[in-house]
A and B are shown apart, each in its own frame.
Chain A
Amino acid sequence: MLQSKNQITVRQLMIMFCVSIFSPAIRLMPGIGSELGREAAWVSPILSSAVLFTLFLVLERLFKNKKSKDIIEVYDMVLGKFFSYPLRIFYLFWTFILYFLYIRYYAERLLTSIFRTTDIRFFILVMMIVVFMALRGKFETFARFCEISFLLFNLITIIFFILLIPSVRIENIYPLTHNDIVPALKSTYPVLGLWGYVTFFMLLGDNVKDKEQIKNHRRFFTLFLAIITSLMLIFIIGTLGHMTARRMPLPFFSATKMIVFAESLDRLESILLSIWVVSDFIIITSFAFMIMNSMKDIFKISADKYLSFPVVLAGYFGSLFFTGSRFELEVFSEKIGLLVNIILGFAVPFIVFGIGKLRKKV
Protein backbone atom coordinates (compact mmCIF):
# COMPACT_ATOMS: atom_id res chain seq x y z
CA MET A 1 0.00 0.00 0.00
CA LEU A 2 2.76 2.44 0.88
CA GLN A 3 4.49 3.86 -2.13
CA SER A 4 7.86 5.40 -2.58
CA LYS A 5 8.44 9.14 -3.27
CA ASN A 6 5.29 10.23 -1.46
CA GLN A 7 3.14 8.49 -4.08
CA ILE A 8 -0.22 6.79 -3.64
CA THR A 9 -2.08 4.13 -5.60
CA VAL A 10 -4.93 4.79 -7.99
CA ARG A 11 -7.20 2.91 -5.57
CA GLN A 12 -6.39 5.44 -2.86
CA LEU A 13 -7.05 8.27 -5.32
CA MET A 14 -10.47 6.81 -6.15
CA ILE A 15 -11.25 6.49 -2.44
CA MET A 16 -10.26 10.14 -2.02
CA PHE A 17 -12.66 11.03 -4.83
CA CYS A 18 -15.53 9.01 -3.31
CA VAL A 19 -15.08 10.53 0.16
CA SER A 20 -14.76 14.03 -1.30
CA ILE A 21 -18.05 13.93 -3.18
CA PHE A 22 -19.92 12.68 -0.11
CA SER A 23 -20.51 16.25 1.10
CA PRO A 24 -21.68 17.85 -2.18
CA ALA A 25 -23.68 14.71 -3.00
CA ILE A 26 -25.88 14.89 0.08
CA ARG A 27 -26.30 18.62 -0.40
CA LEU A 28 -26.95 18.93 -4.14
CA MET A 29 -28.28 15.64 -5.46
CA PRO A 30 -31.49 15.36 -3.39
CA GLY A 31 -32.57 18.97 -4.01
CA ILE A 32 -31.76 19.38 -7.70
CA GLY A 33 -32.44 15.68 -8.40
CA SER A 34 -35.93 15.88 -6.88
CA GLU A 35 -36.72 18.99 -8.85
CA LEU A 36 -35.65 17.48 -12.17
CA GLY A 37 -36.46 13.83 -11.66
CA ARG A 38 -39.32 13.93 -9.15
CA GLU A 39 -39.93 10.41 -7.73
CA ALA A 40 -37.65 8.92 -10.42
CA ALA A 41 -34.57 10.82 -9.20
CA TRP A 42 -33.20 7.70 -7.50
CA VAL A 43 -32.79 6.03 -10.92
CA SER A 44 -30.38 8.75 -12.10
CA PRO A 45 -27.21 7.29 -10.46
CA ILE A 46 -27.88 3.97 -12.21
CA LEU A 47 -28.18 5.77 -15.58
CA SER A 48 -25.15 7.95 -14.83
CA SER A 49 -23.02 4.96 -13.92
CA ALA A 50 -22.84 3.99 -17.63
CA VAL A 51 -21.29 7.40 -18.40
CA LEU A 52 -18.90 7.14 -15.44
CA PHE A 53 -17.82 3.66 -16.51
CA THR A 54 -17.13 5.00 -20.03
CA LEU A 55 -15.07 7.82 -18.52
CA PHE A 56 -13.02 5.27 -16.59
CA LEU A 57 -12.42 3.38 -19.87
CA VAL A 58 -11.34 6.62 -21.57
CA LEU A 59 -9.01 7.55 -18.68
CA GLU A 60 -7.50 4.08 -18.75
CA ARG A 61 -6.73 4.44 -22.46
CA LEU A 62 -5.40 7.97 -22.00
CA PHE A 63 -3.03 6.85 -19.26
CA LYS A 64 -1.85 3.81 -21.16
CA ASN A 65 1.24 5.82 -22.05
CA LYS A 66 3.10 5.61 -18.74
CA LYS A 67 5.12 8.74 -19.53
CA SER A 68 2.17 11.04 -18.81
CA LYS A 69 2.25 12.25 -15.23
CA ASP A 70 -1.24 13.73 -15.03
CA ILE A 71 -4.30 14.40 -17.19
CA ILE A 72 -2.93 17.74 -18.44
CA GLU A 73 0.21 16.03 -19.72
CA VAL A 74 -2.06 13.66 -21.64
CA TYR A 75 -3.80 16.72 -23.14
CA ASP A 76 -0.33 18.11 -23.99
CA MET A 77 0.56 14.90 -25.78
CA VAL A 78 -2.72 14.69 -27.74
CA LEU A 79 -3.49 18.36 -28.49
CA GLY A 80 -0.03 19.88 -28.43
CA LYS A 81 1.08 22.60 -26.01
CA PHE A 82 -0.59 25.42 -27.97
CA PHE A 83 -4.09 24.05 -27.33
CA SER A 84 -3.51 22.32 -24.00
CA TYR A 85 -2.04 25.38 -22.25
CA PRO A 86 -5.34 27.37 -22.20
CA LEU A 87 -7.03 24.19 -20.94
CA ARG A 88 -4.46 23.91 -18.17
CA ILE A 89 -5.09 27.54 -17.15
CA PHE A 90 -8.86 27.04 -17.22
CA TYR A 91 -8.62 23.87 -15.09
CA LEU A 92 -6.55 25.85 -12.57
CA PHE A 93 -9.04 28.74 -12.60
CA TRP A 94 -11.97 26.37 -12.13
CA THR A 95 -10.20 24.47 -9.35
CA PHE A 96 -9.77 27.82 -7.54
CA ILE A 97 -13.48 28.55 -7.98
CA LEU A 98 -14.42 25.10 -6.61
CA TYR A 99 -11.96 25.55 -3.73
CA PHE A 100 -13.61 28.84 -2.69
CA LEU A 101 -17.04 27.35 -3.26
CA TYR A 102 -16.50 24.36 -0.95
CA ILE A 103 -14.92 26.41 1.81
CA ARG A 104 -17.95 28.67 1.76
CA TYR A 105 -20.43 25.79 1.52
CA TYR A 106 -18.84 24.16 4.56
CA ALA A 107 -19.14 27.32 6.67
CA GLU A 108 -22.64 28.17 5.44
CA ARG A 109 -23.89 24.69 6.31
CA LEU A 110 -22.65 24.91 9.88
CA LEU A 111 -24.37 28.29 10.17
CA THR A 112 -27.61 27.01 8.64
CA SER A 113 -27.80 23.78 10.61
CA ILE A 114 -26.63 24.36 14.17
CA PHE A 115 -24.49 27.43 14.91
CA ARG A 116 -26.78 30.16 13.64
CA THR A 117 -25.29 33.08 15.56
CA THR A 118 -21.58 32.33 15.14
CA ASP A 119 -19.30 34.49 12.98
CA ILE A 120 -18.64 32.67 9.68
CA ARG A 121 -14.97 33.74 9.78
CA PHE A 122 -14.41 31.51 12.81
CA PHE A 123 -15.41 28.33 10.93
CA ILE A 124 -13.38 29.28 7.86
CA LEU A 125 -10.32 30.10 9.97
CA VAL A 126 -10.45 26.77 11.84
CA MET A 127 -10.83 24.83 8.57
CA MET A 128 -7.99 26.70 6.88
CA ILE A 129 -5.60 26.01 9.79
CA VAL A 130 -6.34 22.27 9.53
CA VAL A 131 -6.02 22.36 5.72
CA PHE A 132 -2.67 24.16 6.06
CA MET A 133 -1.36 21.41 8.36
CA ALA A 134 -2.54 18.74 5.90
CA LEU A 135 -0.92 20.52 2.95
CA ARG A 136 2.41 20.78 4.77
CA GLY A 137 2.24 17.08 5.60
CA LYS A 138 2.71 14.13 3.30
CA PHE A 139 0.22 13.47 0.53
CA GLU A 140 0.23 9.74 1.30
CA THR A 141 -0.70 10.45 4.92
CA PHE A 142 -3.69 12.42 3.67
CA ALA A 143 -4.58 9.52 1.35
CA ARG A 144 -4.51 7.09 4.29
CA PHE A 145 -6.73 9.42 6.29
CA CYS A 146 -9.18 9.30 3.36
CA GLU A 147 -9.10 5.49 3.45
CA ILE A 148 -10.03 5.43 7.14
CA SER A 149 -12.73 8.06 6.56
CA PHE A 150 -14.10 6.02 3.66
CA LEU A 151 -14.70 3.01 5.92
CA LEU A 152 -16.18 5.16 8.67
CA PHE A 153 -18.46 7.11 6.31
CA ASN A 154 -19.82 3.95 4.73
CA LEU A 155 -20.49 2.37 8.10
CA ILE A 156 -22.30 5.45 9.43
CA THR A 157 -24.24 5.98 6.18
CA ILE A 158 -25.41 2.36 6.15
CA ILE A 159 -26.52 2.65 9.80
CA PHE A 160 -28.47 5.81 8.86
CA PHE A 161 -30.06 4.00 5.93
CA ILE A 162 -31.12 1.09 8.16
CA LEU A 163 -32.57 3.45 10.77
CA LEU A 164 -34.44 5.37 8.06
CA ILE A 165 -36.20 2.25 6.70
CA PRO A 166 -39.32 2.69 8.91
CA SER A 167 -39.73 6.30 7.68
CA VAL A 168 -39.64 5.44 3.97
CA ARG A 169 -43.01 5.62 2.24
CA ILE A 170 -42.92 3.46 -0.85
CA GLU A 171 -45.49 5.64 -2.68
CA ASN A 172 -42.90 8.46 -2.70
CA ILE A 173 -40.57 6.52 -4.99
CA TYR A 174 -42.82 3.98 -6.73
CA PRO A 175 -44.44 3.22 -9.21
CA LEU A 176 -42.29 4.45 -12.08
CA THR A 177 -43.78 4.49 -15.56
CA HIS A 178 -42.55 5.32 -19.07
CA ASN A 179 -43.43 8.97 -18.28
CA ASP A 180 -40.55 9.01 -15.79
CA ILE A 181 -37.86 8.26 -18.38
CA VAL A 182 -37.28 11.91 -19.33
CA PRO A 183 -37.27 13.22 -15.71
CA ALA A 184 -34.89 10.41 -14.72
CA LEU A 185 -32.56 11.35 -17.57
CA LYS A 186 -32.76 15.04 -16.58
CA SER A 187 -31.90 14.22 -12.99
CA THR A 188 -28.55 12.76 -14.08
CA TYR A 189 -27.39 16.42 -14.31
CA PRO A 190 -26.33 16.86 -10.64
CA VAL A 191 -25.00 13.30 -10.47
CA LEU A 192 -22.75 13.71 -13.51
CA GLY A 193 -21.80 17.20 -12.37
CA LEU A 194 -20.28 15.73 -9.23
CA TRP A 195 -18.93 12.48 -10.64
CA GLY A 196 -17.01 14.57 -13.18
CA TYR A 197 -14.58 15.39 -10.36
CA VAL A 198 -12.86 12.10 -11.14
CA THR A 199 -11.10 13.92 -14.02
CA PHE A 200 -10.08 16.72 -11.64
CA PHE A 201 -8.55 14.13 -9.32
CA MET A 202 -6.44 13.01 -12.26
CA LEU A 203 -4.74 16.42 -11.96
CA LEU A 204 -3.06 14.76 -8.97
CA GLY A 205 -1.78 12.01 -11.25
CA ASP A 206 1.77 13.18 -10.55
CA ASN A 207 1.40 11.67 -7.08
CA VAL A 208 -0.13 8.40 -8.31
CA LYS A 209 2.11 5.50 -9.12
CA ASP A 210 -0.13 3.10 -11.05
CA LYS A 211 -2.61 5.21 -13.05
CA GLU A 212 -2.90 2.58 -15.77
CA GLN A 213 -4.26 0.18 -13.11
CA ILE A 214 -7.54 2.13 -13.06
CA LYS A 215 -9.01 -0.78 -15.07
CA ASN A 216 -8.79 -3.00 -11.97
CA HIS A 217 -10.92 -0.62 -9.92
CA ARG A 218 -13.39 0.90 -12.39
CA ARG A 219 -16.10 -1.75 -11.87
CA PHE A 220 -15.98 -1.54 -8.10
CA PHE A 221 -16.08 2.25 -7.86
CA THR A 222 -18.77 2.64 -10.54
CA LEU A 223 -20.98 0.06 -8.82
CA PHE A 224 -20.25 1.48 -5.39
CA LEU A 225 -21.18 5.04 -6.41
CA ALA A 226 -24.30 3.91 -8.30
CA ILE A 227 -25.57 1.85 -5.35
CA ILE A 228 -24.75 4.22 -2.50
CA THR A 229 -26.08 7.30 -4.36
CA SER A 230 -29.28 5.52 -5.42
CA LEU A 231 -29.85 4.32 -1.86
CA MET A 232 -29.29 7.83 -0.53
CA LEU A 233 -31.87 9.25 -2.95
CA ILE A 234 -34.31 6.40 -2.19
CA PHE A 235 -34.10 7.13 1.54
CA ILE A 236 -34.34 10.92 1.22
CA ILE A 237 -37.13 11.06 -1.36
CA GLY A 238 -38.81 8.02 0.20
CA THR A 239 -38.84 9.69 3.60
CA LEU A 240 -39.64 13.30 2.69
CA GLY A 241 -41.23 13.02 -0.75
CA HIS A 242 -39.81 14.82 -3.78
CA MET A 243 -41.92 17.96 -3.24
CA THR A 244 -40.56 18.49 0.27
CA ALA A 245 -36.99 17.39 -0.56
CA ARG A 246 -36.64 19.94 -3.37
CA ARG A 247 -37.66 22.82 -1.08
CA MET A 248 -35.37 21.95 1.83
CA PRO A 249 -31.87 23.43 2.09
CA LEU A 250 -30.45 20.23 3.64
CA PRO A 251 -32.84 17.34 2.87
CA PHE A 252 -30.62 14.51 4.17
CA PHE A 253 -30.07 16.41 7.39
CA SER A 254 -33.84 16.86 7.76
CA ALA A 255 -34.45 13.18 7.01
CA THR A 256 -32.00 12.07 9.70
CA LYS A 257 -33.80 14.30 12.19
CA MET A 258 -36.76 11.96 11.79
CA ILE A 259 -34.78 8.97 13.07
CA VAL A 260 -36.01 7.73 16.43
CA PHE A 261 -34.83 4.28 17.43
CA ALA A 262 -36.60 2.36 20.22
CA GLU A 263 -38.04 5.68 21.47
CA SER A 264 -34.72 6.54 23.06
CA LEU A 265 -32.08 7.06 20.37
CA ASP A 266 -32.59 10.29 18.46
CA ARG A 267 -30.80 13.55 17.51
CA LEU A 268 -28.41 11.58 15.32
CA GLU A 269 -28.00 14.49 12.92
CA SER A 270 -24.97 15.67 14.89
CA ILE A 271 -23.13 12.50 13.79
CA LEU A 272 -24.04 13.29 10.18
CA LEU A 273 -22.81 16.84 10.62
CA SER A 274 -19.45 15.65 11.93
CA ILE A 275 -18.81 13.28 9.00
CA TRP A 276 -20.01 16.05 6.71
CA VAL A 277 -17.32 18.36 8.08
CA VAL A 278 -14.66 15.66 7.60
CA SER A 279 -15.81 15.22 3.98
CA ASP A 280 -15.60 19.00 3.53
CA PHE A 281 -12.07 18.96 4.89
CA ILE A 282 -11.14 16.22 2.41
CA ILE A 283 -12.63 17.97 -0.64
CA ILE A 284 -11.13 21.36 0.30
CA THR A 285 -7.69 19.82 0.91
CA SER A 286 -7.91 17.83 -2.33
CA PHE A 287 -8.65 20.98 -4.34
CA ALA A 288 -5.79 22.77 -2.56
CA PHE A 289 -3.44 19.91 -3.53
CA MET A 290 -4.71 20.18 -7.13
CA ILE A 291 -4.01 23.94 -7.17
CA MET A 292 -0.49 23.42 -5.82
CA ASN A 293 0.17 20.61 -8.29
CA SER A 294 -1.10 22.67 -11.25
CA MET A 295 0.99 25.68 -10.24
CA LYS A 296 4.02 23.44 -9.86
CA ASP A 297 3.55 22.23 -13.45
CA ILE A 298 2.78 25.67 -14.88
CA PHE A 299 5.79 27.40 -13.29
CA LYS A 300 8.01 24.30 -13.55
CA ILE A 301 9.07 24.35 -9.90
CA SER A 302 10.32 21.36 -7.94
CA ALA A 303 8.91 22.00 -4.45
CA ASP A 304 5.24 22.94 -4.12
CA LYS A 305 4.88 22.60 -0.31
CA TYR A 306 5.75 26.27 0.17
CA LEU A 307 2.75 27.29 -1.92
CA SER A 308 0.46 25.92 0.81
CA PHE A 309 0.54 29.19 2.76
CA PRO A 310 -0.54 31.47 -0.12
CA VAL A 311 -3.12 28.83 -1.16
CA VAL A 312 -4.60 28.72 2.35
CA LEU A 313 -4.55 32.51 2.68
CA ALA A 314 -6.25 32.82 -0.71
CA GLY A 315 -8.82 30.23 0.46
CA TYR A 316 -9.67 32.23 3.57
CA PHE A 317 -10.10 35.62 1.89
CA GLY A 318 -11.32 34.19 -1.41
CA SER A 319 -14.19 32.33 0.25
CA LEU A 320 -15.23 35.50 2.10
CA PHE A 321 -14.98 37.57 -1.08
CA PHE A 322 -16.63 34.81 -3.12
CA THR A 323 -20.23 35.29 -2.09
CA GLY A 324 -22.53 37.11 0.26
CA SER A 325 -25.18 34.44 0.74
CA ARG A 326 -26.02 30.76 0.54
CA PHE A 327 -28.64 31.43 -2.16
CA GLU A 328 -25.98 32.78 -4.51
CA LEU A 329 -23.94 29.58 -3.95
CA GLU A 330 -26.91 27.36 -4.73
CA VAL A 331 -27.86 29.28 -7.89
CA PHE A 332 -24.25 29.20 -9.06
CA SER A 333 -23.92 25.45 -8.43
CA GLU A 334 -27.19 24.64 -10.18
CA LYS A 335 -26.94 26.95 -13.20
CA ILE A 336 -23.20 27.15 -13.88
CA GLY A 337 -21.08 24.98 -11.56
CA LEU A 338 -22.49 21.56 -12.42
CA LEU A 339 -22.53 22.36 -16.14
CA VAL A 340 -18.87 23.40 -16.21
CA ASN A 341 -18.01 20.30 -14.15
CA ILE A 342 -19.68 18.09 -16.78
CA ILE A 343 -17.80 19.89 -19.56
CA LEU A 344 -14.40 19.67 -17.85
CA GLY A 345 -15.04 16.29 -16.23
CA PHE A 346 -16.63 14.36 -19.08
CA ALA A 347 -16.79 16.29 -22.35
CA VAL A 348 -13.13 17.40 -22.48
CA PRO A 349 -11.61 13.91 -21.78
CA PHE A 350 -14.01 12.33 -24.33
CA ILE A 351 -13.11 14.94 -26.99
CA VAL A 352 -9.38 14.60 -26.25
CA PHE A 353 -9.71 10.82 -26.50
CA GLY A 354 -11.48 11.19 -29.89
CA ILE A 355 -8.77 13.53 -31.19
CA GLY A 356 -6.09 11.22 -29.78
CA LYS A 357 -7.61 8.30 -31.67
CA LEU A 358 -7.72 10.30 -34.91
CA ARG A 359 -4.12 11.43 -34.46
CA LYS A 360 -3.11 7.91 -33.34
CA LYS A 361 -1.73 9.28 -30.07
CA VAL A 362 -3.70 6.99 -27.74
Chain B
Amino acid sequence: MSFLIMFLVVGIVGFFDVKNMVNSGLKKELIVYSIFLGATVIFATLYLKNPLRRTILDMILDLFQVSW
Protein backbone atom coordinates (compact mmCIF):
# COMPACT_ATOMS: atom_id res chain seq x y z
CA MET B 1 0.00 0.00 0.00
CA SER B 2 2.83 2.43 0.93
CA PHE B 3 4.55 1.65 -2.40
CA LEU B 4 1.36 2.36 -4.29
CA ILE B 5 0.79 5.72 -2.56
CA MET B 6 4.42 6.74 -3.10
CA PHE B 7 4.42 5.87 -6.81
CA LEU B 8 1.04 7.57 -7.25
CA VAL B 9 2.27 10.82 -5.63
CA VAL B 10 5.58 10.72 -7.52
CA GLY B 11 3.71 10.04 -10.76
CA ILE B 12 1.20 12.87 -10.38
CA VAL B 13 3.54 15.60 -9.08
CA GLY B 14 6.35 14.41 -11.39
CA PHE B 15 4.08 14.56 -14.43
CA PHE B 16 3.10 18.21 -13.81
CA ASP B 17 6.67 19.24 -12.97
CA VAL B 18 8.11 17.59 -16.08
CA LYS B 19 5.33 19.11 -18.23
CA ASN B 20 6.09 22.60 -16.87
CA MET B 21 9.83 22.18 -17.37
CA VAL B 22 9.39 20.93 -20.96
CA ASN B 23 7.05 23.84 -21.71
CA SER B 24 9.58 26.30 -20.26
CA GLY B 25 12.49 24.70 -22.14
CA LEU B 26 14.39 23.88 -18.96
CA LYS B 27 16.38 20.88 -20.27
CA LYS B 28 19.23 20.95 -17.75
CA GLU B 29 16.78 21.38 -14.87
CA LEU B 30 14.79 18.40 -16.18
CA ILE B 31 17.89 16.16 -16.13
CA VAL B 32 18.87 17.22 -12.58
CA TYR B 33 15.26 16.84 -11.43
CA SER B 34 14.92 13.35 -12.94
CA ILE B 35 18.21 12.10 -11.44
CA PHE B 36 17.43 13.53 -7.99
CA LEU B 37 13.85 12.22 -8.01
CA GLY B 38 15.04 8.81 -9.21
CA ALA B 39 17.63 8.63 -6.43
CA THR B 40 15.00 9.63 -3.87
CA VAL B 41 12.57 6.96 -5.11
CA ILE B 42 15.33 4.30 -4.86
CA PHE B 43 16.12 5.54 -1.34
CA ALA B 44 12.40 5.43 -0.42
CA THR B 45 12.03 1.92 -1.89
CA LEU B 46 14.98 0.72 0.18
CA TYR B 47 13.29 2.07 3.29
CA LEU B 48 9.83 0.72 2.47
CA LYS B 49 11.14 -2.77 1.70
CA ASN B 50 12.43 -3.06 5.24
CA PRO B 51 11.57 -0.16 7.57
CA LEU B 52 13.43 -1.84 10.43
CA ARG B 53 16.76 -1.95 8.62
CA ARG B 54 19.88 -0.34 10.10
CA THR B 55 19.40 3.43 10.33
CA ILE B 56 21.63 6.15 8.89
CA LEU B 57 22.47 7.45 12.37
CA ASP B 58 23.40 3.98 13.54
CA MET B 59 25.92 3.78 10.68
CA ILE B 60 27.29 7.29 11.41
CA LEU B 61 27.62 6.58 15.15
CA ASP B 62 29.38 3.29 14.33
CA LEU B 63 31.72 5.09 11.95
CA PHE B 64 32.76 7.51 14.71
CA GLN B 65 32.76 4.65 17.25
CA VAL B 66 30.24 6.39 19.50
CA SER B 67 28.45 3.98 21.80
CA TRP B 68 25.24 4.75 23.65
Q: A303-B29, A323-B57, A328-B61 are in contact. List 16 more A-B contacts (CB 8 A).
A: A306-B33, A307-B32, A307-B36, A309-B13, A310-B36, A310-B37, A317-B48, A320-B51, A322-B55, A328-B57, A328-B68, A331-B66, A331-B68, A332-B57, A332-B60, A336-B64
* Residues on the B chain within 8 Å of A336, using CB: 60-61, 64, 66
Query: Given A309-B14, A309-B17, A335-B64, A301 and B28 touching (CB < 8 A)?
Result: yes
CB nearest neighbor in B for A300: B28
Let me know if A220 is at the binding interface, CB within 8 A: no
A331 touches B61 (CB 8 A): yes
Q: Is the CB of A317 within 8 A of B55?
A: no
State A217–B56 Cα separation when bound (angstroms): 38
Docked CA distance A323–B68 (Å): 14
Q: Which residues of B contact A335 (CB under 8 A)?
A: 61, 64, 66
A322 vs B14: C-alpha distance when bound (angstroms)? 25
A contact residues around B10 at 8 Å (CB) = 313
Assess the A100–B56 pair: CB atoms within 8 A: yes
What's the minimum C-beta distance from A359 to chain B, rounded to whole angstroms? Answer: 33
In the complex, chain B residues 1-60 whose Cβ is within 8 Å of any chain A Cβ:
9-10, 13-14, 17, 20-21, 24, 26, 28-29, 32-33, 36-37, 39-41, 43-44, 46-48, 51-53, 55-58, 60
Residues 297-338 of chain A, each 1 if its beta carbon lies under 8 Å from chain B, else 0: 001111100110110011011101111100111011001100
**Smallest CB–CB gap between A333 and chain B, Å?**
10
A314 partner, pick from B20, B43, B64, beta carbons under 8 A: B43
Residues of B contacting A322 with CB < 8 Å?
55-57
Q: CA of A191 to CA of B14 in the docked complex: distance in angstroms? A: 41
* Least CB distance, A316 to chain B, in whole angstroms: 8
| Chain A contact surface mostly | helix
CB-based nearest B residue for A132? B13
Nearest chain-A residue to B14 (Cβ)?
A309
> Which chain B residues border A314 with CB–CB below 8 Å?
36, 40, 43
Contact, CB under 8 Å: B40 / A306: no
CA distance A299 to B39 in the complex (A): 16
Contact partners of A321 in chain B: CB under 8 A? 43, 46-47, 53, 55-56
With both beta carbons as reference points, the residue of chain A lying nearest to B54 in the complex is identified as A324
Q: Quick check: A301 and B37 within 8 Å, CB to CB?
A: no
Given contacts A299-B32, A335-B66, A336-B64, A329 and B57 within 8 Å (CB-CB): yes
B44/A317 in contact, CB under 8 A: yes
Minimum CB–CB distance from B64 to chain A (whole Å) comes to 6
